[in-house]
Amino acid sequence: MQKPQYHFLVCNSFRLQGDPQGICNKKGAVNLLQYLEEEIIDRGINAQISSTGCMKVCDRGPVMVIYPNAWWYGELTEEKVDDILDALEDGEPVDEYSLC
Ligand code: FES
């Protein structure tokens, strides 16, 4: 297996029983996952996407973290994802959307 260059963790509020019930899911994280997947493929970015449980920053959801950079982003929209991927292709974070 070849390691991906980036790993995107997207909160989808999954609970132990597998039910997505939290803030990120209610704010459209499922649709963002689909959008992100399509954009990564279209752009040819070498990345893996994982959907996660709560990342404990619910008030800033939907939330995503990009590794290995540990870039935390919140209050995501499709437009913000576009900006984040544009910057990622240049190897840069988008500070104005950063949670840290
Ligand atoms: S539900 Fe996404 S950070 Fe808590």
- Confidence band, pLDDT 50/70/90 cuts, at residue 86: very high
**Region 6-97: CATH code:** 3.40.30.10
| Full-model pTM | 0.92
| E strand intervals along the chain | 6-14, 47-53, 64-67, 71-73
Q: How far apart are CA 16 and CA 36, in angstroms?
A: 24
Q: Which of 55, 72, 99 to mutate to test the pocket of ligand 1 (most atoms within 8 A of CB)?
A: 55
**Those residues with Cβ within 8 angstroms of residue 28's Cβ, 6 or more apart along the chain or in another chain:** 62
Q: Does ligand 1 have an atom closer than 6 angstroms to the CB of 74? A: no
pLDDT in tens, 14-37: 776 766 678 898 899 999 999 999
pLDDT of amino acid 62: 96
